[in-house]
Copies of this chain bind each other. A is one copy, B any other.
């Protein structure tokens, strides 16, 4: 007789309704692959009376106890989002001996270590593939497929909202406010878009990826974050002219000398880099390891069905273990706390755009000011007139962030400099990196 694995679902929002739909539509495939019938028994919702699709035979409840105290439920799937009470519910589920699947990047980024400890203590599985990259398989590939490698770098486009906005700004030449409004109308951006456009969502994912890739603990406060709110059509146009596109990148690097450098910021990316052609709401994560070289994982980083795909893969994995009498998932492996590289010590090339007095010798004065702070320039060009002023665009060689910060102060103090319009990092891709 075939075993049935029973699930308690916390939340029936965008992702929860996707899980309900996919488990119904693909019931046959899922049960064959799991070696068990996979059934959602109970769903925790705010309003248990509300009619929802794909709920025939499933109990809706507004009481968490109906799930935590139900001994038939093997797996609790948390899709409520937010820190509280999601975290407390997951911990309670583990204490009740239930395996837990979650898509909750907030909890993993902030309380990851804590959650893994609880899973280990209670001898239950704890899986979270959907917390980064939506439907893209990335957590398990890092934890199980790249184990031969010392991973030195992870670089990803992990926020669909901002990638959609930057794509539209690039394709249509529109400004930030216009594309934000359009993204909100299409449902790609929230009414309060801060978490996306200011980079916080990407930062949480960066913390998770860095922790997994480098087998250390990186939490949100260690991630340096800068959003896309200051990106202008002018910057995007200069990027294009120079052979780049602007992307919001989550970057994590690990080096024995400098420690772990984790940051989220907009960056110039060479247009032939594999990440440069990742458009609209798509996500992609580029991983560099000392055996595999470069690998990239691409797909839909959000959305009801893609995220449900990742959640259900975790459910199938646990169900296979339950059928075999023991769940044996690889937990989060920490091999020691690595040092975090301070942002001032991180190294990048930079694009700097300035408005200066339109007079002879200005280009020289600017170049000298950069040089005085130890910033060597790859190129500096005077591009166009803006209101009787001259616009200058400089691309630096690789420098430490503190040097560029000092150069900014020095430049600002020059009488000929009216304004520093933009300072954006230029990411030379791993394949083009100079040793």
Contact = CB atoms under 8 A, between A and B. Distances in A.
B291 A26 contact: yes
A204 to B, nearest CB: 21
Contacts of A335: 32
Interface string A1-37: 0000000000000000010001101100110111000
A148 B295 contact: no
Contacts of A294: 298-300
A148 B22 contact: yes
Contacts of A296: 284, 296-299
A295 B141 CA distance: 13
A140 B139 CA distance: 12
Contacts of A312: 147-148, 291
A291 B277 contact: no
Nearest to A271: B277
A209 to B, nearest CB: 15
A146 B290 contact: no
Contacts of A284: 296
Contacts of A150: 26, 29
Given A26-B148, A135-B292, 19 more contacts: A18-B291, A25-B290, A26-B150, A26-B291, A29-B150, A33-B147, A129-B145, A135-B295, A141-B145, A144-B313, A145-B310, A148-B309, A289-B309, A290-B305, A291-B309, A291-B312, A293-B303, A293-B305, A298-B298
Interface centre among A141, A317, A324 (most CB of B within 10 A): A141
13 contacts: A22-B291, A29-B148, A33-B147, A135-B293, A137-B145, A140-B144, A144-B316, A144-B317, A145-B313, A146-B309, A147-B312, A293-B299, A293-B306
- Number of copies of this kind of chain in the complex: 2
Interface residues of A, number: 58
A272 B308 CA distance: 27
A229 interface: no
A409 interface: no
Contacts of A297: 295-298
Contact of A30 (B25, B148, B299): B148
B300 A137 contact: no
Interface in A94-153: 129, 135-137, 140-141, 144-150
Nearest to A21: B291
Contacts of A291: 18, 22, 26, 135, 305-306, 308-309, 312
A274 interface: yes
A328 interface: yes
Contacts of A144: 140, 144, 313, 316-317
B33 A333 contact: yes
A146 B313 contact: yes
A207 B165 CA distance: 40
A320 interface: yes
Contacts of A59: none
A80 to B, nearest CB: 20
A333 B29 CA distance: 11
B140 A145 contact: yes
A222 interface: no
Contacts of A33: 147, 215, 333
